[in-house]
Chains A and B, each alone.
Chain A
Amino acid sequence: MGIGARPGRWWMSPVRWSSLVCVGVSLAAGPAAEAAQKFALGMFHFNVQYVCGGTTGFLVNPDPTLDLDNDALEDRIIEESLAPVVELYEKHPSWGVDIEMQGYMLDVIAARHPALLDKLRALTNSGQLDVVSFHYSDQLFLGYPTEDWERSQELTRASFDRHGVALSRTVFCQEGQAAPGMAARMKERGYRTLVWPKNLWSFQHGDFDAEPLYQLGDVFMIAGAKGVSKTVNGESLEVAWTFFGDGELLATGDLDPYLVEFFFVKPELVAKYEAGLEALEAQGYRIASVDQYVTEVSRKVTATEAPKLLDGTWQPASTGGIKRWLGGSGLWLTQERDNHVRSLGAVAHRELVAAETAAKVSGIDAREKLDGAWRLLLLGQVTDGSGINPFRGEIQYAVSHVAEALRLAREVIDEAKGKLGHAAVVVDPAQGTVTHASGGAADADELSAAGMSIEPPIKLVIDAGGRAVTETWARLGEGHTRVSITFAAEGASTISVTFPGTLEPAFEVGLALDDSGVATVERAAYAFERFHFALPTGWIGLGGGRFLIKDMARCHLAAEIEREAAGVLVEDKTAASSESQRWVFHILEGSAAEAAALAKSVNVARRLVR
């Protein structure tokens, strides 16, 4: 094949680990002990947005057999990779397993693969198969305010209810996204167990021997892909993982859907995996779902408190953590535009939140329109819009969906204005108000006001990649300043700014699914040298009582910190050389709680003049 010789994620294919795990189990299993309890777990992560938008345009030259549109590619994934796995387990009613997918995938299955839906319905309702789902779209939910995930979760639950498929109590997510803030949200919605990827754990705390069961807040947690070998109350407990990764790769021979030419089921490989499970079963292993395992083990052991963990994805060593989706570059360097994709998602979030307020205050019936817009936003927040190796088709999928969501949101606001009889309005979602806009300076709040121009209060280190750059500071209030950095067009694709800080033993940061919370990161508690934070509401501490808040609608890039050094680096390695960018940050002198509150007013519930 042409330019796309080895696209996608092949080089970090999770199935390779599962193979290793499986081999390890075979070697370590030994003779079955009478008193032993043995579990063989499998987590098949499926993603119908694996190549969102389809493969059309992936290769340089058109080829009707390889140019599959969105729906055709989705169908290929379902038919060639999901269906064989479901059918494998259907043959063995005593075997449990976890199949993870976004809620949207269930909708696609229901719409175009009803026979497979029937099987999923039967196998989940019998308790054999767990269909795991935490988000409607395979979106970068760690990078956006909680409301976006909440909308996503509602859609997912509605999808499962509509199609009669039981939703598992277990949680695993796209790209292995995991966050401590998920625990409270899981508990609220009846989930029981989070599967935390072992690599995201070891990246933060080094290698470890997994305990059978952990407690993370109010929910259970287990270490995904990490086997367990313990003696519990005099009884041996063995846990092996037979699969943990992209489910698409099992039946197709470790080939992903980018490789359309080869992405077909290979029955002999499914049979080989089946034989491996049968061998384990013969050794006394129970082929179980995570939920079945947790039910059993929670009766025997007291869950161990989980260590302090931070938000991230399942291969942090090779992706630079979440940075790969927020400024990091992949194979198709010149096609990527991470900041455009992710900041547009933030723009649309704000607009939809404002549209919700406008609709409510004006009393217009915009529910159907808004629901459709939220759905499009969530699809547009798909991880593959900016990582791991997105090609232009995936990037355009993300932007086109978000742009349409944005159109709908603005249309709702305009309808509300018409109903209220105002030519222009100030929408304040935090206050739940829509007021007449005078068109003057009084409309602007502290965030948008011009402010008083000041000399830089701190010295930034800006790498403009050879571009012309301007740095403008304004004082907006007591202890509150704003800096705007404009990178002109024509220059390198890597641009960055480093904010100086004060090295302290700990710093505070806002983490995912906890918009008002303050997480304290004790530097000495972690093993990593550097770490990347998504900043889903935009803020992180710089030390010395100073906080950085990115305006996510201008700059939605990862914040890089070093464990042993002060300061925060914000970098985009995917800036289009022919385009300018303008980044905006707020600096606050105050408390972490005040920073979290300001960040919410900037990025979560922004006051807008429309």
Chain B
Amino acid sequence: MASTMALCMVAACDAAAELPGAISWSGTLTLELRDSAEVVLTVAPDGDAVRVAVTPTASYGLLEVRKPLVADGRVASFPEVGASLYTAKFALPAVSDGPCGAEAISLAMSLHRDGENRMVLGGLTAYCGANRFHGTPVRILRLAGELTPG
């Protein structure tokens, strides 16, 4: 499912209010172990759609510090193993002194959750080029930590 990408200029947690009946999971995940990202996953009642908000504390030449990234993504379920994968895509502008230089950045989030555990692990995978969410990544920023409901 194609994501609707948008850069959010409001508080990330407001995203939940736009999806009546949605269930929100939030928490502070480690970002590349030393830094962190506030993550809010607002899962639509159908369980398939999710609004994702990620607010990083470091840029890595890819992100804007403390500016929420918000996108509509999806929840890929794996019923035979009881797992979920939260995914979203973010279209980011070029950062001249970053690893993609003058190229725009395509950033994909993939967060894996096993069963009902609160632990999620995955990352933000950066590809150089606009609307290019595959190929050889220029960087994978690791995310890990617990998300709690409500």
A residues near B (Cβ < 8 Å) are 53, 56-57, 62, 67, 69, 340, 343-344, 347, 351, 368-369, 372-373, 375-376, 392-393, 396-397, 399-404, 406-408, 410, 414, 447-448, 489, 551, 553-554, 576, 578-582, 606, 608-609
B79–A406 touching, CB < 8 Å: no
Q: How far is the CA of A448 from the CA of B110 in the complex (A)?
A: 26
B111–A554 touching, CB < 8 Å: no
Interface of chain A: mostly helix, strand, loop or mixed: helix
Q: A372-B135, A401-B140, A406-B85 are in contact. Are A56 and B117 (CB under 8 A)?
A: no
Listed A/B pairs (5) with beta-carbon separation below 8 Å: A57-B30, A340-B121, A351-B78, A396-B144, A582-B115
B residues near A (Cβ < 8 Å) are 1, 30, 32-34, 76, 78-83, 85, 87, 108, 110-112, 114-119, 121-123, 125, 134-137, 140-144
A404–B140 touching, CB < 8 Å: yes
* 9 pairs of A and B residues whose beta carbons are closest in the complex: A57-B33, A400-B123, A403-B122, A403-B110, A396-B142, A407-B110, A399-B121, A579-B117, A369-B134
Out of B34, B79, B119, name the residue touching A56 (CB < 8 Å): B34
Q: How far is the CA of A69 from the CA of B34 in the complex (A)?
A: 11
Out of A368, A403, A489, name the residue touching B85 (CB < 8 Å): A403
Q: A368-B135, A399-B122, A579-B119 are in contact. Are A553 and B80 (CB under 8 A)?
A: yes
The residues of A that contact B32 with a CB separation of less than 8 Å are 56-57, 69
Out of B80, B112, B115, name the residue touching A406 (CB < 8 Å): B112
A407–B87 touching, CB < 8 Å: yes
B123–A404 touching, CB < 8 Å: yes
The residues of A that contact B123 with a CB separation of less than 8 Å are 396, 399-401, 403-404
Q: How far is the CA of A404 from the CA of B33 in the complex (A)?
A: 18
The residues of B that contact A347 with a CB separation of less than 8 Å are 78, 81, 83
Q: Which of A373, A400, A576 has the most CB of B within 10 A?
A: A400
Q: How far is the CA of A553 from the CA of B85 in the complex (A)?
A: 14
A113 → B minimal CB distance (Å): 17
The residues of A that contact B114 with a CB separation of less than 8 Å are 340, 579, 581
Q: A347-B83, A582-B82 are in contact. Are A400 and B33 (CB under 8 A)?
A: no
Extra A-B contacts (5), CB below 8 Å, given A347-B78, A406-B110: A340-B121, A396-B121, A399-B121, A399-B123, A406-B85
Q: A368-B134, A400-B143, A578-B119 are in contact. Are A407 and B108 (CB under 8 A)?
A: yes
The residues of A that contact B121 with a CB separation of less than 8 Å are 340, 396, 399-400, 403
Q: How far is the CA of A399 from the CA of B85 in the complex (A)?
A: 12
Q: How far is the CA of A347 from the CA of B110 in the complex (A)?
A: 14
Residue of B nearest to A486 (CB): B115
B110–A576 touching, CB < 8 Å: no
Q: How far is the CA of A57 from the CA of B30 in the complex (A)?
A: 10
Residue of B nearest to A406 (CB): B85
Q: How far is the CA of A609 from the CA of B76 in the complex (A)?
A: 12
A410–B85 touching, CB < 8 Å: yes
Residue of A nearest to B1 (CB): A414
Out of A392, A396, A448, name the residue touching B80 (CB < 8 Å): A448
B70 → A minimal CB distance (Å): 18
B122–A400 touching, CB < 8 Å: yes
Q: How far is the CA of A347 from the CA of B78 in the complex (A)?
A: 9
Q: How far is the CA of A182 from the CA of B81 in the complex (A)?
A: 31
Q: How far is the CA of A278 from the CA of B115 in the complex (A)?
A: 60
Residue of A nearest to B87 (CB): A407
B115 → A minimal CB distance (Å): 6
Q: How far is the CA of A516 from the CA of B143 in the complex (A)?
A: 38
B81–A554 touching, CB < 8 Å: yes
A67–B34 touching, CB < 8 Å: yes
Q: How far is the CA of A131 from the CA of B141 in the complex (A)?
A: 31
Q: How far is the CA of A553 from the CA of B80 in the complex (A)?
A: 9
B119–A400 touching, CB < 8 Å: no
Residue of A nearest to B115 (CB): A580
Q: A400-B123, A609-B79 are in contact. Are A407 and B142 (CB under 8 A)?
A: no
The residues of A that contact B134 with a CB separation of less than 8 Å are 368-369, 372-373, 408
The residues of B that contact A404 with a CB separation of less than 8 Å are 108, 110, 122-123, 125, 137, 140
A137 → B minimal CB distance (Å): 13
Q: How far is the CA of A69 from the CA of B30 in the complex (A)?
A: 15
Q: How far is the CA of A340 from the CA of B117 in the complex (A)?
A: 12
Q: How far is the CA of A392 from the CA of B34 in the complex (A)?
A: 12
Q: Which of B111, B116, B134, B136 has the most CB of A within 10 A?
A: B134
B27 → A minimal CB distance (Å): 14
A410–B80 touching, CB < 8 Å: no
The residues of B that contact A582 with a CB separation of less than 8 Å are 82, 115
Residue of A nearest to B138 (CB): A71
B144 → A minimal CB distance (Å): 5
B110 → A minimal CB distance (Å): 4
Q: How far is the CA of A609 from the CA of B78 in the complex (A)?
A: 9
A445 → B minimal CB distance (Å): 10
Residue of B nearest to A111 (CB): B136
Residue of B nearest to A340 (CB): B114
A57–B34 touching, CB < 8 Å: yes
The residues of A that contact B115 with a CB separation of less than 8 Å are 580-582
B19 → A minimal CB distance (Å): 21
B24 → A minimal CB distance (Å): 21
A511 → B minimal CB distance (Å): 25
B112–A403 touching, CB < 8 Å: yes
The residues of A that contact B108 with a CB separation of less than 8 Å are 404, 407
The residues of B that contact A69 with a CB separation of less than 8 Å are 32
Q: How far is the CA of A369 from the CA of B111 in the complex (A)?
A: 19
The residues of A that contact B83 with a CB separation of less than 8 Å are 347
The residues of B that contact A400 with a CB separation of less than 8 Å are 110, 121-123, 125, 140-143
Q: A368-B135, A407-B76 are in contact. Are A399 and B116 (CB under 8 A)?
A: no
B116–A580 touching, CB < 8 Å: yes
Q: How far is the CA of A53 from the CA of B143 in the complex (A)?
A: 12
A393–B142 touching, CB < 8 Å: yes
Q: Which of B119, B121, B143 has the most CB of A within 10 A?
A: B121
B133 → A minimal CB distance (Å): 8
Residue of A nearest to B80 (CB): A448
B136–A372 touching, CB < 8 Å: yes
Q: How far is the CA of A376 from the CA of B137 in the complex (A)?
A: 9
Residue of B nearest to A55 (CB): B33
